[in-house]
Chains A and B, each alone.
Chain A
Amino acid sequence: MDLDRSNYYSLRRREVVKILLDQRDSGMLIVAGLGAPTWDVTAAGDEPLNFPLWGAMGGAVSIGLGLAIAQPTRRILVITGDGEMLMGLGSLATVSIQSPSNLAILVLDNERYGETGMQATHTAGNVDLAAVARATGFSESHNIADKKTFRSLLPQIQNGEGPLFFNVKVRAENLPLVLPPKDGAFLKDRFRVALFGSDAVR
Chain B
Amino acid sequence: MVSPKFLREDVEALKFYPAGEHSDVEAVIKLEGVGFAFGRNQVLENISLEIRRGDFLAVLGPNGAGKTTLLKIILGLYQPGTGMLKLFGMDGSRFRERYRIGYVPQKGAAFGDFPATVWEVVATGRTARAGLWRRLAPKDREKITAALSALGLEELAHRPVRALSGGQRQRVAIARALAAEPEVLLLDEAAEGLDPAGEDAFYGLLERLNRGQGMTVVLVTHDIGAVSRRVRKVVFLNRRIVFEGASEECLENGKLSALYGMPVYVPGSVGRRRQEVYGKGS
A and B interact physically:
no
Binding site for A on B (CB under 8 A): none
Binding site for B on A (CB under 8 A): none
